[in-house]
Structure 1
Amino acid sequence: MPNGPYLRYVALGDSQTEGLGDGDDTVGLRGFADRLAEHLAAVDPALRYANLAVRGRTAGQIRTEQLAPALALRPDLATVVAGVNDLLRPRFDVVEVVGQVEEMFAALTRAGTRVVTLTFPDIAKVAPLARPLRSRVFELNAGIRAAAARHAVVVAETGRPAVTTDPRLWTADRLHASPLGHERIAAALARALELPGSDDAWTLPLPPQRLPTAGQAAAAELRWAASYLGPWLGRRLRGRSSGDARTAKRPHLRPVEAGPRLTPDATADPVRREAP
C-alpha cells in the first residue's frame, strides 16, 4: 500500500467527516477531512479530494452508499470514520457495526488504498448524561483497533488524550467537534500518516479555564438535554435523520483550492437546509 505522497484522497463517514460544527450550511462546512486535505495539498499541490460523507449515516449506510463510489474514484488515501450514529441508537450490536467498518477497510486496502481511521473519546466526559453509553464507546474503539490491525489500517488515537474531552473542542450539542476540535482531529490524522510538518502538538492541553460551579454544571446539563438530546430523540422516534434528503457535499475528486475553506462540489444535488 502507498505511504505517500497522496494524490487522490476520499473521505467516507457521517456528520463529523462532512464537517458539522466547523462552519454551517450557509457559509459552508469545513471539518477535519477538508483540513486534512489541506495538509496533504501542502505536501503535493496535485492532490485531488472528494468527500462522500453525509450526516446521520450509520456504519451500514456508509458501507452501502459510499464504499462503491469511493472505490470508483481509485483513491490512494481514504479516511473511514463510522459508528457513532450506531452507538447512539437504542439497539447497538458492536460486532455488527465493526463488521461493517471492517468490510470498508478490507475493500479499500485490497484496492491498494492507504486507509486511516480514528477512535472516539469517553462520551461521559463530554456529556455526563450520556454516561450509560460509555461502555459502547470503549467496545467500538476496541473493535476498530482490532479490525484496523487485521488490514494494516492506520489508527489516529483521538480517543485517548485528555484534551479530546475539553469542552472547547466540542460544539454546544456535544456531538460534533468545534472548529478547534476539527483542527485537532486533522492534525492527529496527519501525524498518524507521518505527513511532513506534523507532530504531537494536537495532544497538548488547552490553557486552563475557570470551571463552572456544581449548580452551573447541572443547569448546563438540563439545557443540553432540552435543546439537543430531546430533539434528537424525537427524530429517532419519528424515524427521521438529520441526513434525510441530503447528498455528499463533494462527490467528485477536485483540486484543493487555496483559501480558508474548501467549497462543496458545484455539481452536487441541492439539499434542504435544516438544523443538524
Structure 2
Amino acid sequence: MTRYRSFVAVGDSFTEGLNDPGTDGHFRGWADRVAERLATLEPEFRYANLAVRGKVIDQIVADQVPVAMAMRPDLVSFCAGGNDLLRPGSDPDRMAKKVAAAVRELRGAGADVLMFTGVDPRDTPIMRRARGKFATFYLHLRSIADLSGSLLVDQWSMQGLRDWRAWSDDRLHMNEHGHRMVAAKVLDVLGVPPEDDWRKVWPPRERVDPSAKRREDAQWLREHFTPWLGRRLRGTSSGDNVTAKRPDLIPFEAEDL
C-alpha cells in the first residue's frame, strides 16, 4: 500500500462534491472523504481540491492542471469530460486526446494519476440516447490509463450507482450515498482499506405509483432540466462565479469537512 503525503483533486462538480453537504456552504464529496482516510495514515498529509462545477476539459486543463503540477503532489485525481459530453457536437476522440496530453504532463511531473470512467447512462432519460458516445470516451480513458500507468476507477461497473437512491434530485449529481460509494471504490483502487463497501446492494424499492412518477418527472423538468437548458442556450455555466473550495495544498484537518 502506497502512503501518500499529498493529494490534489482537479475536475468539475463530481470532484467538487455536489451534492454531498459539507460545512460552511461547501460540499464534501468523494475526494474529501478519500483525503480524510489518507490523512489517518500519514500525519503530514496535505490536500487541495481545485475542482469547480460546470467546467469542461479545456478549462480544467488550462486553469487547474498547471496549478496542480506546481504543487508537486504525490497523487492527482483527474476527472473531466462529463460536461463536454452533454454538449451537442462533442467528439469523444478529440476529448480523449486532450485528456491524454494532460495525463502525460501530470505523470511527467512525477505524480500518480487517478482517472475515472463515468457511470453507465442507460438509466438516464436524456443521456441514454448518447450512450455510445459516452462508452467510446470511457474506453479511451481506460486506454489512456493503461498506456500512462495511471490508476483507474471504473464507475461503469458500480451497479449500486445505477439506483436513483445514490443520486440527488437533479439526477446529474450524486448525493451523500453515491459519494460514499465512490470514495470506497477509490480507496480500494489505491489499496487502502475503505470503511464502506462500494459494492452496495440496495434493498428492494416499493412500487411507485405511475401518477406520482409523472409528477416527479414534471418537477424535475421545471426545477432542474429547464434551468440547465437555459444556461446552455445563454452560454453560461453554474461555475462561472465559483472558485475552488480548497485552492491551497495545506495540511488536512477533519474539521474542514
TM-score (structure 2 length as normaliser): 0.94
CA drift of 1:121 comes to 1.2
The amino acid that maps onto 2:138 is: N
The aligned residue for residue 61 of structure 2 is: 63
The aligned residue for residue 210 of structure 1 is: 206
Cα deviation digits, residues 144-164 of structure 1 (max 9, x gap): 111111101111111212211
Residue pair 1:117, 1:156 contacting (<8 A) in 2 also = yes
Residue pair 1:129, 1:221 contacting (<8 A) in 2 also = no
CA drift of 1:133 comes to 2.3
Q: 2:157 aligns with which of 156, 160, 166?
A: 160
User: Which runs of structure 2 are paired with 1:184-199 in the superposition (5 Å)?
Assistant: 184-195=181-192, 197-198=193-194
Counterpart-to-counterpart distance in 2, 1:106 and 1:211: 48
The aligned residue for residue 252 of structure 1 is: 248
Cα deviation digits, residues 146-196 of structure 1 (max 9, x gap): 11111011111112122111111110001111011111111111001111x
Unaligned runs of 5+ in 1: 263-276
CA drift of 1:210 comes to 1.2
Higher mean Cα deviation, 219-228 or 57-66? Answer: 219-228
Counterpart-to-counterpart distance in 2, 1:241 and 1:168: 26
The aligned residue for residue 224 of structure 1 is: 220
Counterpart-to-counterpart distance in 2, 1:199 and 1:248: 27
Residue pair 2:92, 2:134 contacting (<8 A) in 1 also = no
How many percent identity over aligned positions? 39
Q: 2:147 aligns with which of 136, 145, 150?
A: 150
The aligned residue for residue 96 of structure 1 is: 94
Residue pair 1:6, 1:77 contacting (<8 A) in 2 also = yes
Residue pair 2:60, 2:80 contacting (<8 A) in 1 also = yes
| 1:132–1:25 Cα change, 3 Å | farther
Secondary structure of 1:95's counterpart equals helix
Counterpart-to-counterpart distance in 2, 1:5 and 1:61: 30
The amino acid that maps onto 2:21 is: G
Q: 2:237 aligns with which of 241, 248, 251?
A: 241
Cα deviation digits, residues 94-152 of structure 1 (max 9, x gap): 01211121122111111111111121112231x22432122222112111111111101
The amino acid that maps onto 2:32 is: D
RMSD between aligned residues: 1.8
Secondary structure of 2:198's counterpart equals helix
Cα deviation digits, residues 37-81 of structure 1 (max 9, x gap): 011111112110001111110011100111110000001101101
The aligned residue for residue 130 of structure 1 is: 127
Residues paired across the two proteins, number? 257
Counterpart-to-counterpart distance in 1, 2:196 and 2:180: 13
The aligned residue for residue 266 of structure 1 is: none
Residue pair 2:181, 2:200 contacting (<8 A) in 1 also = no
Cα deviation digits, residues 192-230 of structure 1 (max 9, x gap): 1111x2388211212222132344334322322222111
Counterpart-to-counterpart distance in 2, 1:211 and 1:169: 18
The aligned residue for residue 114 of structure 1 is: 112
The amino acid that maps onto 2:52 is: V
Residue pair 1:191, 1:199 contacting (<8 A) in 2 also = no
Secondary structure of 1:23's counterpart equals coil
TM-score (structure 1 length as normaliser): 0.88
